[in-house]
Amino acid sequence: MQQVGIIGIGSTEVNEHWEYSLRELAGFAALAAMEDAGIRHIDGLFVGNMMSGTANRQQHLGAYLSDWIGMPMIEGVRVESACSSGGAAFRAALMAVASGELETALVVGVEKMTDVTASEISTELSTAADADWESDQGVSFVGLNALLMQRYMHEYGWQKADFANFALNAHANGAGNPKARFQRAITREQYEKATMISPPINIMDASPVSDGAAAVVITSIEAARSVAKQPIVRIIGSAAATDSITVHGRKDALWLTAAYDSAKRAYDQAGISPSDIDFFELHDAFSIMATLSLEACGFAERGKGPRLAIDGGIYPSGRIPIATRGGLKARGHPVGATGVYQIVETAEQLRGEAGKNQIENVRIGMTQNIGGSGSNVITHIFSNL
């Protein structure tokens, strides 16, 4: 497989963008990434998006966007795997470039969720779960995660307050990111007194509905060396795995097999172990998902994820900084864009451009994008060496 690197990144602020259309949002990020890369042409476009068909009455985003950014003749498709659509689009583009079929590819993650009601969004999100055995029974995504968190607390003896640091860290980091949805720190008291959504998940355990777009330009390392204006960020590991789409279909609901499996293969490709990872942009759509992801990827023992958070290990100064620019919780979770935001933010850290969020001396960063309740997990490892 040909070596591939990131040569350009771009993103919009995550917000309620009522003033911009879907194509404008996506276009802003796409053109920013191309300008950052210093190139005017790409060979293929891969769009990560989950819900534009319903929320914006627009599918066919490959043609829709290639036209808008002034390259109507390039190839262009949408890749969808629920909340991991962004990571999946990146991986499809990576394989296209690695095959030699395309020299340069543009990956754009975009989601515009606030044009419709919260109830419509909740219904649309539920299409990521099993229509027959989950959604039609009335369980929402918050509901599924609440069941997991409740069971986790019961099984391992944690209290709800023990999860506070996931939200505190995310919001503190969001305060340093001018593109984050929430740019203010929160207090422990605010976490503990936050409005309950679906017990034990309160509003500080859940990531917000948002609009946003993020984009990256990738090319072969060989081509990158001759065109790159920016430091090249190398992709040293990439793997994806599914799991039973239903939570009840898994042997052990508290162990994310797909996260474990994709991380293990990515580590093997990169020839490294968890101790070599300097920071981790994980999928903290809910506090419980952050916990389970840390455990599956080898950063905490089973049932000990909250301990890592309580001890400060997830903070910028800790053993494995997570959500360094706010994560899904504070940067926001524009669904199909999230996986690409994670990659843009990782590239920012590795290029030393993370501003107030910059972690010192970082060499290797990891991203993990999770679709559904752990049923589609895409892991990437990047290096600036």
Rule CB under 8 A: is residue 54 a binding residue for its own copies?
Answer: yes
Selected from 35, 59, 190, 307, the binder of its own copies by CB under 8 A is 59
Positive or negative, the Cα torsion across 352, 344, 294, 164? positive
Orientation angle between helical segments 141-156 and 287-296, nearest 10 degrees: 60
Tokens linked to 107: 């990956």
CB of 77 to its own copies, least distance (A): 5
Q: Which listed residue (17, 171, 283, 333) is catalytic?
A: 333
Rule CB under 8 A: is residue 72 a binding residue for its own copies?
Answer: yes
115 or 353: whose CB is closer to its own copies? Answer: 115
Q: Total residues contacting its own copies (rule CB under 8 A)?
A: 69
Among the residue ranges 130-138, 176-184, 204-212, 217-225, the one whose residues contact its own copies (CB under 8 A): 130-138
Among the residue ranges 77-85, 159-167, 212-220, 225-233, the one whose residues contact its own copies (CB under 8 A): 77-85
Tokens linked to 24: 């404008």
Find the binding residues for its own copies in span 232-271 (CB under 8 A).
238-246, 249, 257-258, 261-262
Pairing of strands 44-48, 233-242: unpaired
Active site residue 83: yes
Selected from 30, 33, 34, 74, the binder of its own copies by CB under 8 A is 74
> What is the Cα–Cα distance from 367 to 80, expressed in whole angstroms?
18
Provide φ and ψ at 216, rounded to 5°.
-140, 150
CB of 122 to its own copies, least distance (A): 13
- List b or e across 22-57, with b for residues whose CB sees 16 or more CB atoms inside 10 angstroms: bbebbbbbbbbbbebbebeebbbbbbbbbbbbebbe
Active site residue 154: no
Cβ(360)–Cβ(71) below 8 Å: no
Rule CB under 8 A: is residue 113 a binding residue for its own copies?
Answer: no
| Residue 75 CA: distances (Å) to CA of 44, 60, 64, 78, 141 | 5, 12, 11, 11, 34
> What is the Cα–Cα distance from 80 to 91, expressed in whole angstroms?
12
Tell me which amino acid residue 117 is: T
170 or 240: whose CB is closer to its own copies? Answer: 240
1 or 203: whose CB is closer to its own copies? Answer: 1
Positions annotated as catalytic residues are 83, 333
**Given the rule CB under 8 A, which residues bind its own copies?**
1-2, 21, 44-45, 50-51, 53-54, 56-64, 66-67, 72-82, 88, 92, 95-96, 98-102, 124, 126-132, 135-136, 238-246, 249, 257-258, 261-262, 371-372, 375-376, 378
